[in-house]
Amino acid sequence: MFRTALRTSFTALRAPARVPATALVSPQLAFTRRYITQEARAKIQQAVESTPVVLFMKGTPDAPQCGFSRAAVQVLGIHGVPEEKMKTFDVLEDSELRQSIKEFSDWPTIPQLYVNGEFVGGCDILLSMHQSGELDDLLVKSGVIPPEEPETTTQTQN
C-alpha cells in the first residue's frame, strides 16, 4: 500500500512523538483498539514520509468526492507540484485511515496536507497560504518545486 521508493534516509531519525488518543475507548476494547491504532499510526507515519507532498483526501485527484478535497488538489496543481513528488490517499477507500488520520494529525476534517512529513493544515489553511504566497515559499523551500525565476531576468527586446 505504501510506496517507499522516495523515502529519504533521514526518516529513521524522526521521533514520532504523538500520544495515542485512546481515552474514549472502553477498557474492554482498549488493548485491541490501541494495537490497531498504533499499527495505523506507524503506517501513516511511513506514508507521510514516503513522498514530499502527501494529501489525505476524499476521492482521487481525477475524481474528488468533496469540494474541499477538490480545492486542495487544484491549489497544489496551480503550484505545479509534480506528480512524482505527490501522493494522495483516498480516505473513503479506507475507513480505518479515515478515523486514524484525524487522530494522527489531531485535526478533525479532511483534506489534510503533509509536506516533508510535517502537517501543514486543511483546506482553509492551504487556500490562505496560496493567497499569501506562503505555500509557494514552503514548496520551494521543501524542494518540491523549483524557485520561480526572478522577474528581473526576463529579457526584453528592443
Partner 1 sequence: MSTAVSDPAKPSSAGPVEHSIRAKLTDLLRPSQLEITNDSWQHRHHAPMRATGGGGGETHFSVHVVSDQFQGKNTMQRHRMIYAALSDEFAAGLHALSLKTKTPAEAKPAAQT
To partner 1, the closest distance from the beta carbon of 5 in angstroms equals 30
Binding mask of the shown chain, residues 32 to 71, with x at each position contacting partner 1 by CB under 8 A: ----------------------------------xxx---
Q: 59, 58, 32, 54: which is closest to 43 by C-alpha?
A: 54
> Is residue 20 at the binding interface for partner 1, with CB under 8 A as the rule?
no
Q: 52, 73, 60: which is closest to 123 by C-alpha?
A: 73
Choices 10-18, 45-53, 76-84, 118-126; region in contact with partner 1 by CB under 8 A: 118-126
Residue from 59, 61, 117, 122 in contact with partner 1 (CB under 8 A): 122
Cα angle 53, 56, 59 (rounded to 5 degrees) comes to 120
Choices 7-15, 36-44, 82-90, 105-113; region in contact with partner 1 by CB under 8 A: 105-113
Cα end-to-end distance, the chain, whole Å = 56
To partner 1, the closest distance from the beta carbon of 149 in angstroms equals 25
> Is residue 106 at the binding interface for partner 1, with CB under 8 A as the rule?
yes
* Cα distance between residue 101 and residue 44, in whole Å: 7
**Pairing outcome for strands 53-57 and 86-90:** parallel
**Pairing outcome for strands 118-121 and 112-115:** antiparallel
**Pairing outcome for strands 53-57 and 112-115:** antiparallel
Residue from 9, 15, 62, 108 in contact with partner 1 (CB under 8 A): 108
> Is residue 124 at the binding interface for partner 1, with CB under 8 A as the rule?
yes
The residues that touch partner 1, with contacts defined as CB under 8 A, are 66-68, 106-109, 119-125, 128-129
